[in-house]
Chains A and B, each alone.
Chain A
């Protein structure tokens, strides 16, 4: 069965500091990997995705993530966080059976707190 582990429930970072959110996955085939951000009471916004090709993917809002197959990881990074980055971050894994999308398996999320 597929699974996603986000080991950090909460992370506190000072504004302007760098950020790394960890994500490890378990998936039986080639994974499609995603990072989403959710602000309080809001839906999900896609930050970035990895399907194939270059293992370092760039996303919106200055985020990037690196796919490391050997470590089954897809960690999210940002060189300098802004107060507006405070939110809940979800890593997710999915696939494509028969060419169509499969439902995603989400991690439990990491709550990012930004200190002034």
Chain B
């Protein structure tokens, strides 16, 4: 149980285009989903927290107009990188927290490798 998927696993795009990454909780409902970014040989950094049906909360320094997050259902959150540039190239990882609020745990997706040319 507690499986989170991401699609696509890898994407290459041209500079200036937009890219959408999907994060799905496959066998549970997630009231909260998180988006992280991981630079090469670096730690994961929390970008934003999204709650189903409400606006995402972005961490300081993360451009909300560049990284659009939508959490339209209890099993799906999307991250859209708008007008992507080479500096947006990174490994993006989502996680989802179950609706059961008896404990705090997140389940991570396998990640999406974005390369902007």
Q: Contact residues of A with B, CB < 8 Å?
A: 32, 36, 41-44, 46, 49, 51, 90, 94-96, 99-109
Question: Which of A49, A101, A104 gathers the greatest number of chain B CB atoms within 10 Å?
Answer: A101
In the complex, per-residue mask of B70-113: 1 if CB is within 8 Å of any chain A CB, else 0: 00000000000000000000000101010001011111111101
Q: Which 6 A-B pairs have the closest CB atoms?
A: A101-B97, A43-B110, A96-B104, A103-B46, A99-B101, A44-B108
Q: Are A108 and B32 in contact (CB under 8 A)?
A: no
Q: Are B49 and A44 in contact (CB under 8 A)?
A: no
Q: Contact residues of B with A, CB < 8 Å?
A: 31-32, 34, 36, 42-46, 49, 59, 93, 95, 97, 101, 103-111, 113
With A51-B103, A100-B97, A101-B97 known to touch, is A90 a contact of B32 (CB < 8 Å)?
no
Q: Are A102 and B110 in contact (CB under 8 A)?
A: no
Q: Are B104 and A95 in contact (CB under 8 A)?
A: yes
With A44-B108, A100-B101 known to touch, is A105 a contact of B32 (CB < 8 Å)?
no
- Choose from A32, A42, A51, A101 the contact partner of B111 (Cβ within 8 Å): A42
B97 to chain A, nearest CB (A): 4
Q: Which residue of B lies closest to A49 (CB)?
A: B105
Q: Are A108 and B34 in contact (CB under 8 A)?
A: no
Please name all residues of chain B whose beta carbon is closer than 8 Å to the beta carbon of A107 when the two chains form the complex.
Answer: 43
With A103-B49, A104-B46 known to touch, is A42 a contact of B104 (CB < 8 Å)?
no
